[in-house]
């Protein structure tokens, strides 16, 4: 019998979405088929320390990652020390062998599922590490992750691709700290009414705020700029919030479209994860032609950013004009069994365990395709 695929599930990380990542990883680990996979959970602490063998369940009740390392499991992750090999391997330090030198390499990981949301995980940094280590991984590559994370750059690509987007203005922390009044005056001149301010590189609505008037604007801008050196400002529109899942590599497909009705004025962090009062409608109650338009635009956005594996594409539907706007793309959306992305695919005929199987297969396919590239060149060849 062939060996099971060795799957590393990386979660936690140095991100404002650390806790969301733990919840996602707990669901992923529970759903991965033990008959198919040997699963290695790898937690990254808020300080950036890598620990293998971390059970995410106790973390949901407040345990530290160091306390949640399963006894007898590996306690760190490193590059393989074999110069003829490649990849990442967990290493262990058995309690009953104090003279073993502290490291016992295990079999390298066949593929990694980076269940990391936000900075240092969803922004291309982890993907770059895995590329350097020549490790297969689920999800999009370095470029797609970086573009999907940076709302400013993503909007530039969407605009170039001719996709419908809400107008925006980019501001930087350095200019706001130097002259906040001038920055706020520039925003008010461009967008006279209420505006949303968002950190350019952040997810889960962390740092997102709505300024209803000029008096509220400085505080909302300052809050957003705590989480990134850039923020984007958009005019507030009276809209419905719709979401679509995309799955695939070079020939992606789209799920049905769902709708989020937030418990607060907009879908902020509290509405997503604290209040438990927001409602999800799958499929969304929209005309069939609107559904198909959104599904087509979701695939177009996915391809425009050169994504692979998965993404959740978020839209606004203007209640007054009926105009559809592409809001943003999330390249590692929330992945609990009650999160929108898995629920969209469940409603589209792909249950949660099969969705994970497909993401693993897509990651392996993408890795094999990339390894076909020549990395050396000689003029004599």
Is 155 within the bounds of a domain? yes
Cβ atoms of residues 278 and 297 within 8 Å = no
**Has residue 191 been placed in a domain?**
yes
Q: Are residues 272 and 126 in the same domain?
A: no
The last residue of a domain, from among 215, 235, 255 = 235
Q: Which of 253, 255, 239, 250 is nearest to 341 (CA)?
A: 255
Nearest to 203 by CA among 264, 145, 122: 122
pLDDT for 186 equals: 97
Pair 252, 363 in one domain: yes
Specify the pTM. 0.88
Residues 159 and 231 in one domain: no
Burial class of 162 by CB neighbour count within 10 A (0 to 12, 13 to 18, 19+)? exposed
We report the CATH number of the domain holding residue 153 as: 3.30.470.20
Residue 376 lies in a domain: no
The CATH number of whichever domain residue 118 belongs to comes to 3.40.50.20
**CA distances (Å), origin 4, targets 1, 91, 165, 314, 325:** 9, 19, 45, 36, 44
pLDDT 10s digits, 298-326 = 999 999 999 999 999 999 999 999 999 99
Please say whether the beta carbons of 261 and 279 come within 8 A. Answer: yes
330, 151 contact by CB (below 8 A): no
Residue 41 lies in a domain: yes
- The dihedral region occupied by 326, where left means phi > 0, alpha psi between -120 and 50, and beta the remainder, is beta
Residue 153's domain comprises 148-164+238-368
| Same-domain status, 248 and 220 | no
Q: What mean pLDDT is predicted for residues 154-175?
A: 98
pLDDT tens digits, 53-82: 889 998 988 888 888 887 656 566 666 555
Domain of 206, CATH number, reads: 3.30.1490.20
The structure tokens 């529970």 sit at: 30
Structural domain tally of the chain? 3
- What are 185-207's pLDDT values in tens digits? 999 999 999 999 999 988 657 78
Residues 197 and 303 in one domain: no
pLDDT of residue 281: 95
Those residues with Cβ within 8 angstroms of residue 42's Cβ, 6 or more apart along the chain or in another chain: 8, 9, 10, 11, 50, 51, 52, 54, 77, 90
Burial of residue 48 (CB within 10 Å: 0-12, 13-18, 19+) is exposed
Task: Tell which of 195, 213, 235 closes a domain.
Answer: 235
Final residue belonging to a domain, choices 206, 235, 264:
235
pLDDT at 283 over 50: yes
Q: Which of 4-8, 85-89, 160-164, 216-220 has the lowest mean pLDDT?
A: 85-89
């Amino acid at each position: 019998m062939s060996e099971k695929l060795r799957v590393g599930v990386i979660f936690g990380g140095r991100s404002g979405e650390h806790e969301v990542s733990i919840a996602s990883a707990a669901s992923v680990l529970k759903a991965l088929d033990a008959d198919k996979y040997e699963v290695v959970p790898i937690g990254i602490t808020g300080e950036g320390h890598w620990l293998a063998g971390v059970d995410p369940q106790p973390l949901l009740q407040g345990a530290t990652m160091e306390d949640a390392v399963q006894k007898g499991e590996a306690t760190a992750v490193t590059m393989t020390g074999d110069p003829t090999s490649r990849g990442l391997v967990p290493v262990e330090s058995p309690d009953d062998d104090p003279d073993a030198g502290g490291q016992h390499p295990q079999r390298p990981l066949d593929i990694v599922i980076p269940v990391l949301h936000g900075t240092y995980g969803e922004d291309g940094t982890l993907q770059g590490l895995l590329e350097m280590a020549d490790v297969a991984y689920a999800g999009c590559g370095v470029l797609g992750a970086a573009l999907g994370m940076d709302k400013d750059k993503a909007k530039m690509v969407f605009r170039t691709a001719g996709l419908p987007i809400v107008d925006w203005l980019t501001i930087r922390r350095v200019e706001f700290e130097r002259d906040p009044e001038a920055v706020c005056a520039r925003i008010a001149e461009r967008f006279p009414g209420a505006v949303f301010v968002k950190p350019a590189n952040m997810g889960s609505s962390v740092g997102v705020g709505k300024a209803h008037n000029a008096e509220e604007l400085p505080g909302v801008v300052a809050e957003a700029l705590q989480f990134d050196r850039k923020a984007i400002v958009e005019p507030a529109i009276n809209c419905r919030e719709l979401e679509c899942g995309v799955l695939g590599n070079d020939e992606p497909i789209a799920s049905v479209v769902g709708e989020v009705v937030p418990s607060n004025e907009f879908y902020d962090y509290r509405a997503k994860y604290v209040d438990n009062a927001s409602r999800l409608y799958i499929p969304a109650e929209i005309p069939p032609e609107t559904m198909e338009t959104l599904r087509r635009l979701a695939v177009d956005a996915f391809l425009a950013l050169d994504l692979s594996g998965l993404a959740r594409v978020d839209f606004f539907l203007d209640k007054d004009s009926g105009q559809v706007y592409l809001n943003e793309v999330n390249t590692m959306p929330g992945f609990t069994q009650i999160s929108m992305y898995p629920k969209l695919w469940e409603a589209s005929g792909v249950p949660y365990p099969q969705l994970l199987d497909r993401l693993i297969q897509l990651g392996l396919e993408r890795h094999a395709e990339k390894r076909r590239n020549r990395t050396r060149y000689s003029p004599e060849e």
